[in-house]
Amino acid sequence: MNLQSTLEVYCVERSLPGLTRRQLADVHWALLQTVERIAKNGGQIRYVRSTFIPDQSRCICIFESSSRELVRTVNETAQIPFTRIENALDFNFLGG
């Protein structure tokens, strides 16, 4: 069994009013760096992507992880505020 088949998908929702494109890029970079550091120490987690909805100041980040607690740890360590973390189903119809 490969690692990816043992991971669950998690959706992290955020309210980020007033952020500039540069600040959004900084959020993305902080999450990438934190996931890399935790994964190097044995954490089973991958940051998949983020989608920002400007009209709602809402950001949705997708992670694959062995646990919700690990997703929480990444977000708290990166110091990126979030409103909730939920299990999700991700359908990739492009086959990627």
Assess if residue 93 is contained within a domain: no
Query: pLDDT digit string (tens) for 21-39?
Result: 899 999 999 999 999 999 9
What total of structural domains would you count in the chain? Answer: 1
- Could you list the residue range(s) of the whole structural domain that residue 16 is in? 3-88
Is 95 among the domain residues? no
Q: What pLDDT score does 6 carry?
A: 82
Give yes or no for residue 2 having a pLDDT over 90.
Answer: no
Own/partner long-range contacts of 67-71 (Cβ < 8 Å, ≥24 apart): 67/8, 68/10, 70/38, 70/43, 70/44, 70/45, 71/10, 71/12, 71/45
Q: Per the domain annotation, does 59 fall within a domain?
A: yes
CATH of the domain at 60: 3.30.70.3090
Q: Is this prediction's pTM over 0.85?
A: yes
For the segment 62-85, the average pLDDT, to the nearest whole number, is: 97
The two tokens of residue 11 are 């959706």
| Arithmetic mean of pLDDT over the chain | 91
96 falls within a domain: no
User: Is the pLDDT higher at 3 or at 79?
Assistant: 79
